Chain A
């Protein structure tokens, strides 16, 4: 195929230019803003000079020091927000892991209703995030919400736990909702990984007398490691970037304990109207994600090499 396509590409045809419109929009909407944000991160831009920001006064690295250590309108510095974001992302990924593993393993073997069960497992993930967040807001209402009511009935917590107004309670209300919503993503990747394991290996292990645990440990686990690493990285990255949930769950003024990095930037820009500080925080956000992103691209190549032959194809 390669020599053939090389030969054909010699024909002078405008086909390569077909990619130009898409590339152009990509440059305008993604490329140029990425350059602008670095530029505006060293300018002093407020509401008054936003329309004429190119002429804004130079601030040097003042925005960076103000953003990293100074509070936004919610009283949280960018560094403190990074800590919250990392805790939120890691807790969500780690707690979702056993659920996702169990779900993938439980729909691997053939049985009646398996297709239906696989669909049902996807439901939390496919409900729009804004719907889940608004539902959670009502579920966590103080006194009248079902969470407080059930926990109080079981004598596990006070009926006045106040989930949504701050402290560790708010953090865990947000994390719990996130886990409920996003675990199927990890399940999907793990199931795809499971299905890529050659069946004859499992059969051979069974013939050799391996029980389910031995098959799991010696056949499945070693081959699922790479996929899990990928799923771990991607889910952590997604949790880290989630804006919808913290933005919607807590009403107009989210408490400081849930001020994750995306929220921190949003409130600096669109509530505090300090676009310079917000840009500095955004650049900081890009930089601290660059390392995981590089690892992700590297893993992508790795997984692709391993999965070559199984894609494209039906994976479900």
Chain B
């Protein structure tokens, strides 16, 4: 027993303990600071006081009456949610032939899915904006700042990881069940819908989480492709923050800002930690998978 213990240790116990303690402090201080700010009255924060003695929940109460923040949260849920559901649907549909069939476009598709991860975001946003502006001018449509445009954009960015996660999962699954369904006279589509989709559920949930976070965490695309009506909470907070730094003389509402920031962080942290086993898997799949 003692021997096994010695084998898997890669650091001397004292180094391990001291370092872990230091690392925990390094992680905890900013997180606790965020929570403290969210619970402190605006006056305390503005003067840089440590308001531990007078913590309050009033910032959170104020949050729901501050219309733009609530609106931003609702927009984030709708935009990230709809784009994630669509990304997973298209991702499963794409993963199935990629994993099970051989066809001409298979390798190019897989490589462009993986390769797209390395394209700099601005090199996409800029021409996308120009393209949408051109289509608007040509057809008289309203695309920039509209819900459909930003949803389709996030859906497409969620697609590679959703496809890859489902693809890797499918590859690891035996084909016996589908074969049985095919022998029983199911079409391939029928086999996918009746047999594979229920079995793929775990991979789909993971893809859904990842795809949701694409839209929830993004600032770049939302900053150019949404307006005050369609902006996500990330942009609402950015502008709320800007308003605080630009109002000279007035008291900055940093307590409110951080309360809203905490509210938009908590669901993400909970989602990630609940799925962390798959987070590692998904990252590994994204980084390491291939044909």
A residues touching B (Cβ–Cβ < 8 Å)? 1, 4-6, 8-9, 11, 13-19, 21-23, 25-26, 28-34, 36-37, 40, 45, 50-54, 99, 102-103, 105-106, 108-110, 117-124, 126-132, 134-135, 137-139, 141, 143-146, 149, 180, 185, 188-189, 191-192, 194, 199, 202-203, 206, 212, 215-216, 220, 230, 234, 237, 240-241, 243-244, 247-248, 251-252, 261-262, 265-266, 269-270, 275, 278-279, 282-283, 285-286, 289, 292-293, 296-297, 300-301, 303-304, 307, 311-316
User: Which residue of chain B has the shortest Cβ distance to A54 in the bound complex?
Assistant: B134
Does residue B67 face the partner (Cβ distance < 8 Å to A)? no
Residue of A37, A134, A145, A265 ringed by the most chain B CB atoms within 10 A: A134
Query: Is A301 touching B254 in the complex (CB atoms < 8 A)?
Result: no
- Of chain A, the residue at the smallest CB distance from B20 is A106
Question: Given the complex, which residues of A lie within 8 Å of B91, measured CB to CB?
Answer: 22
Smallest beta-carbon distance A275→chain B, Å: 6
A311 and B265 contacting across the interface, CB-CB below 8 Å: no
In the complex, what's the smallest C-beta–C-beta distance from B283 to chain A, in angstroms? 6
**Residues on B with beta carbons closer than 8 Å to the beta carbon of A135:** 30, 33-34, 37, 258, 261
Closest 4 CB pairs of A and B: A51-B137, A144-B48, A33-B127, A126-B272
Residues of B within 8 A of A145 (CB): 48
How many Å from the CB of B174 to the closest CB on chain A?
9
Contacts of B126 in A (CB 8 A): 33, 37, 265, 269, 275, 278-279, 282
Name the one of A134, A206, A314 contacting B261, with C-beta atoms under 8 angstroms. Answer: A134
- Assess the A127–B123 pair: CB atoms within 8 A: no
Q: Within the assembled complex, what's the spacing in Å between the Cα atoms of A234 and B117?
A: 10
Contact with A along B52-92 (1 / 0, CB 8 A): 00000000000000000000000000000000000000110
**Does B242 reach chain A (CB closer than 8 Å)?**
yes
Q: How large is the interface on B (under 10, 10 to 19, 20 to 34, 35 or more residues)?
A: 35 or more
Task: Tell me whether A188 and B283 are in contact in the complex, defined as CB-CB below 8 angstroms, given that A15-B189, A144-B47 are known contacts.
Answer: yes
Distance to closest chain A CB from B218 (angstroms): 8
Distance A293 CA – B111 CA, assembled complex (angstroms)? 12
| Apart from A18-B93, A251-B245: 14 A-B pairs, beta carbons within 8 A | A19-B96, A26-B156, A29-B156, A119-B276, A126-B273, A128-B216, A137-B245, A192-B284, A212-B9, A243-B220, A251-B242, A275-B130, A286-B123, A312-B281
Contact check, B101 vs A9: say whether CB atoms are below 8 A apart.
Answer: yes
Instruction: Report B-chain residues with C-beta under 8 Å of the C-beta of A123.
Output: 27, 31, 269
B265: contacting residue among A19, A33, A131, CB under 8 A: A131
Contacts of B33 in A (CB 8 A): 135, 139, 146
A29 and B279 contact, Cβ closer than 8 Å, known pairs A262-B121, A311-B289 = no
